[in-house]
């Protein structure tokens, strides 16, 4: 993981394994360096949490300018499902995309996922220059949206999973992902990710194994290992604060 300050206050983190590719830009932005007021302070990129629109628009602008001024930002209407859209070359207008994952081989599109405890799982296929960004909260993880994304990259672009480079963003860690009613809320297939002496689950490990199962190499998967609830001063955390913003995770081909 590489940490850098762009201005006095705007901060971004990058995956070491994705940073080596000059044909892409990517970043996880902290909650610092934006213009939103409490409880959305300050780099909130979500229009649907009650923040002022003018602030969210300015925050999104700042982020896009840092990543690539010439690219178009693409945000999804995330619904905790497992639908994944493939962005094709001939689509000039970005429609209102209700989905939780997005894949493209088109240059100049910044694929955004906005989160506050959920995971953004970014993927890059350097052989075919294909990028993906997936929103994996516990509902998406249970549906294996991460594995589904690898499948679609293969079907749509001929991606060989062996070459996929993947990153798991800051998100709710096993230290804080408590599911007291897990027998009702989670299917039995994921119970093995429960910690032995608590009701806490390791959804980082689940994403890791979902990628492995599809053929992604362990050495190509990087987890930032940062829990958003433990570090809620740096990242928005829904579990910690309930009414809060969403931070930005983005990847683009340039
Ligand atoms: Zn934690």
Task: Give 25-65 pLDDT, tens digit per residue.
Answer: 999 999 999 999 999 999 999 999 999 999 999 999 999 99
pLDDT at 9: 77
* Span from the CA of 108 to the centroid of ligand 1 (angstroms): 35
What are φ and ψ of residue 28, in 5° steps?
A: -110, 120
Residue 198 C-alpha to ligand 1 middle, in angstroms?
13
Q: pTM for the whole thing?
A: 0.95
Q: Which helix (H) or strand (E) holds 109?
A: strand 109-115
* Residue 24 dihedral angles phi and psi, to the nearest 5°: -130, 155
Spatial contact of 169 and 119, defined as CB atoms under 8 Å apart: yes
Report how far ligand 1's centroid is from the alpha carbon of 218 (Å). Answer: 23
Kindly give the distance from the C-alpha atom of residue 116 to the centroid of ligand 1, in angstroms, as a whole number: 13
Distance CA 173, CA 170 (A): 8
Asked if residue 91 has pLDDT above 70, the reply is no
The whole-number pLDDT of residue 88 equals: 86
All structural domains of the chain, each given as residue ranges with its CATH number in brackets, are: 2-253 (3.60.140.10)
Q: What is the mean pLDDT of residues 186-194?
A: 95
């Amino acid at each position: 993981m590489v940490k850098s300050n762009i201005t006095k206050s705007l901060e971004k983190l990058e995956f070491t394994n994705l940073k080596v590719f000059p044909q892409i830009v990517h970043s996880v932005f902290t909650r610092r360096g934006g213009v939103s007021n409490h409880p959305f302070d300050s780099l909130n990129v979500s229009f649907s949490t009650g923040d002022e629109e003018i602030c969210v628009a300015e925050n999104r602008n700042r982020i896009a300018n840092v990543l690539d001024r010439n690219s178009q930002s693409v945000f999804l209407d995330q619904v905790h499902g497992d639908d994944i859209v493939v962005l094709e070359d001939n689509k000039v207008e970005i429609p209102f995309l209700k989905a939780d994952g997005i894949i493209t081989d088109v240059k100049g599109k910044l694929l955004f996922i906005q989160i506050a405890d959920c995971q953004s799982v970014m993927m890059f296929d350097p052989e075919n220059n294909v990028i993906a960004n997936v929103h994996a909260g516990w509902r998406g993880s249970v549906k294996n949206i991460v594995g589904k994304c690898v499948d679609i990259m293969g079907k749509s672009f001929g991606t060989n999973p062996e070459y996929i480079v993947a990153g798991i963003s800051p998100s709710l860690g096993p230290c804080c992902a408590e599911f007291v009613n897990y027998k009702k809320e989670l299917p039995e297939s994921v119970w093995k990710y429960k910690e032995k002496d608590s009701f806490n689950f390791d959804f980082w490990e689940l994403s890791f194994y979902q990628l492995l199962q599809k053929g992604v190499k362990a050495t190509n998967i990087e987890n930032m290992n940062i829990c958003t609830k433990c570090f809620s001063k740096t990242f928005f955390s829904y579990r910690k604060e309930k009414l809060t913003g969403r931070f930005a995770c983005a990847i683009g081909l340039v």
